[in-house]
Structure 1
């Protein structure tokens, strides 16, 4: 540890070079650190050769990671740093640390972790390290005491969203985080007032939004800095406060801000928007809305407490298309009480949407993930005796992405195979569409960088859609879907290599 250095490395474990997650949390913390006089350096482990970083000039290292295979990289980074610089403090945060703070804090590669939002924690935490006074009294953290017990300090003051400034985008190569160049990511709110039983993303947390005046001020600053073609709002739900949204959109129009925008929405919320509101969205440049449709079965939607009806999904897609907005939907399957008829309802809904509205995008039919500390996962553990890993290393191989039959003891092999096949088909079509429209500049770092490779991919894609997609998806023939198991294996390799 260089006690006189003010350089702080923020390690973000992304998912793949092909379409990596935007490091919003690391970028937000970097803004706080810059304001506090420090020199943050963001390293995305999938986009940069972190192994070549020396870290000898660091005051400390902060690691943010998701649950699942991303932990492997996070642990590798921490092990490398601990081996090279034993005195360097390694601080953890992000979704996994928040979901399982005590288990994470017990690991010897974790000196301290933030179990909540980091903006009100990061500055006093690194101040304690820089001053030599320590961080034992910093709110919002957990750490091991000398006797090995875990200490959890009280939470910090609630973050006021208007205090969150425009992130220091200049620390990133923004073109690496989008399949479309000219896109900027921005957050206007946090939290979610809804309580979907499968969700771990801020579900049930108090919703807090920036004032519309603050949002517009940030819009103006971003527009003057980057002149973006589009702004992607990655709030959990941009539309919680409809009056605030109306003010933001009207002011955006009045200020002559030309960039387009996209956001996350819910179909039950969208169903309440009147013609005037939809016209305002259209005029202000809304081009895409992302929805969690989850299921076409009314029974399943009620079971997971989605507060959405199947007809709201169909009507919402139709309204989006009517007003020039591309709806992007995700669905789920594999719920404990889901019957074949429930699954058929979802498949029929997806087929109806694609037949009636080809512009609509379906980005996945995902098998239920047993995310830690969600009401549905707690029910599954209690009812079926499924056990979660008890060490950080074991969570690496937890089947959050590549599920296995044993994760679903309520399903027969036939039921699991059918759901896995349908999920694979939709994932293939969505990934294929992304690759087909990906600019050459972004394909340069992938397996499709050469014209010949891209031509072979296009030809293969045509054949796969005409034969294998048609056979399984259109004809509903699910016997021995070996070609889709091969696709799953190839997709694993593709994502690792890309």
Structure 2
């Protein structure tokens, strides 16, 4: 079948002439799997290819019409659902016979809600998409009909229009059995310049149960790993085929399995693949010896999910770390010349103004290279979602706003407080950026890379 995989456009970029670098790796893995099974697969990535002019939706419609697909596959996190729903509507307006399918973390966390809220969608996939999408396409090609009720991991509508959610599909255990993600259409020659990075994932799942994170609700608790050899083979492929200057390991906790992380780094060194890379991890999953090895293998930036400057809040969100251990980890990273960014959240249901300011003060006192601050947002399938009302919240909730108020403060008071805290963080980040630029050479390529890196967070 002819399959068109679309990463919905970011509504915040519409009409601003901006693009984004984030690659939809979930779609890339599904695309590679389906192509291996004999299907014709192409990507449509509006935000990376300039569908950001005066008529972005018109451009998108014309591109879909030109492709004339049998099936359109979409992915979306919660904040992108309004855009995904619109893409599905546009597809159906062009041709009602095109089958529309949604996957991703939002769909996996609450498949029934995702399908009910999007009349333009035919199916929703919960969990990993490779095997479920393969089976769905095989059913669509059958002359006798789909019979969706027996497809594990699928949500669908019965003849009466009622949403049905099938039993979940077991997770894929052998990640090395998957083909390398499909990247033609993800990487373009003009993209490969100073500051460009290519994302990779080396594991699936997460053993932690942070109350705000949707990853555990979309995967089983068992974390599955690619072998070090498989990971480094992909790095070699990216260097040889695309001459990628930077890598970003997009795992939630790249250093989760210490021995495997060490093996990946050593293989990179042995094979002459020391590529500048960034990774995400936790402050309790690094130490001085591991940081030395990461640095030697090319690590130039680490993103820590720190979240709070209050130890009681850390316990409540299930981040079992102390403020002292966080300070120590950040100091160890900085001592090695590795850039360090911290993620923080304010606005949890139990927080008052003092606790929120404590977090922003702590963030700005850590001497991080950059601070990213967010308002706590109740994503479907998380414990925080249940605290905020869970299933009683309407399907039309718009998560694109950054100031969802879960606190006991009045909405206007919270909005004002969040703006003040955000201004404090923005001023800190500006001062850090100016400091870093002042320490650099006057090489234009180096300065461009630094500026793009800062814009990416």
Would you call these one fold, judging by a TM-score over 0.5? yes
Structure 2 match to 1:10 = 5
Report how far residue 94 of structure 1 moved.
1.7
Contact 1:268 1:309 in 2 (8 A): no
Structure 1: runs of 5+ lacking an equivalent? 1-5, 444-453, 455-498
1:281-324 CA distance string (max 9 Å, x none) = 11111111111111111111111111121112211111111112
Cα distance between partner residues in 2 of 1:145 and 1:432: 57
Relative distance call for 1:408 and 1:177 in structure 2 (3 A) is farther
Considering only CA atoms, is the larger Rg found in Structure 1 or Structure 2?
1
2:133 equivalent among 116, 122, 126: 122
Report the Cα offset of residue 246 of structure 1: 0.8
Q: 1:84 to 1:226 in 2, by over 3 A?
A: closer
Whether contact under 8 Å (2:112, 2:163) holds in the other structure is yes
Mapped partners of 1:176, 1:408: distance in 2: 43
**CA apart distance, 1:164:** 2.4
Q: Is the 8 A contact 2:199 2:250 kept in 1?
A: yes
1:418 is aligned to 417
Match of 2:46 in 1: 45
Alignment-derived partner of residue 379 in structure 1? 387
Report if aligned partners of 1:113, 1:141 keep a CA contact under 8 Å in 2. yes
Distance 1:75 1:158 in 2: 27
Give the deviation of 1:98 after TM superposition: 1.6
Q: CA deviation at 1:345?
A: 2.6
Length, aligned pairs only: 421
Deviation at 1:220, TM superposition (A): 2.4
The alpha-carbon deviation at position 143 of structure 1 amounts to: 0.7
User: Taking structure 1 as reference, are residues 65 and 298 closer, same or farther at Cα in structure 2, changes over 3 Å only?
Assistant: same
Change (3 A) 1:428 1:81: farther
Per the alignment, residue 71 of structure 1 pairs with 81
Contact 2:155 2:164 (C-alpha < 8 Å) held by counterparts = yes
Q: Is the 8 A contact 2:352 2:407 kept in 1?
A: no
1:449 aligned residue:
none
Q: CA deviation at 1:432?
A: 11
Helix, strand or coil: the match of 2:87? helix
Could you say which residue in structure 2 is the equivalent of 1:24? Answer: 25
Deviates more, 1:217-226 or 1:24-33: 217-226
Q: Find the aligned partners of 1:12 and 1:432 in 2 and give their Cα distance.
A: 35
Over aligned residue pairs, what C-alpha RMSD do you find? 3.2
Deviations 1:444-483 (A, max 9, x none): xxxxxxxxxx9xxxxxxxxxxxxxxxxxxxxxxxxxxxxx
TM-score scaled to structure 2, two decimals?
0.83
1:346 to 344, 356, 359: 359
Taking the aligned partners of 2:433 and 2:36, their CA distance within structure 1 comes to: 37
Q: Which residue of 2 aligns with 1:325?
A: 338
Question: What's the CA shift for 1:427?
Answer: 5.1
Change over 3 Å in CA distance of 1:371–1:178 after alignment to 2: farther
TM-score after normalising by structure 1: 0.77
1:201 aligns with 2:201: no
Closer, same or farther: CA 318–42 of 1 in aligned 2, 3 Å: same
- 8 Å CA contact 1:231, 1:261 repeated in 2: yes
Cα offset, 1:337, TM superposition: 1.6
SS of the residue 1:171 aligns to = coil
2:394 matched to which residue of 1? Answer: 389
Given that 1:369 and 1:400 are in contact with CA atoms closer than 8 Å, whether structure 2 keeps it comes out as no
Kept in 1, the 8 Å contact 2:364–2:428? The answer is: no
Q: 1:57 to 1:429 in 2, by over 3 A?
A: farther
Cα gap change, 1:344 to 1:79, in 2 (>3 Å): closer
Instruction: Tell me: CA distance 1:177–1:163, structure 2 relative to 1, closer, same or farther (3 Å).
Output: farther
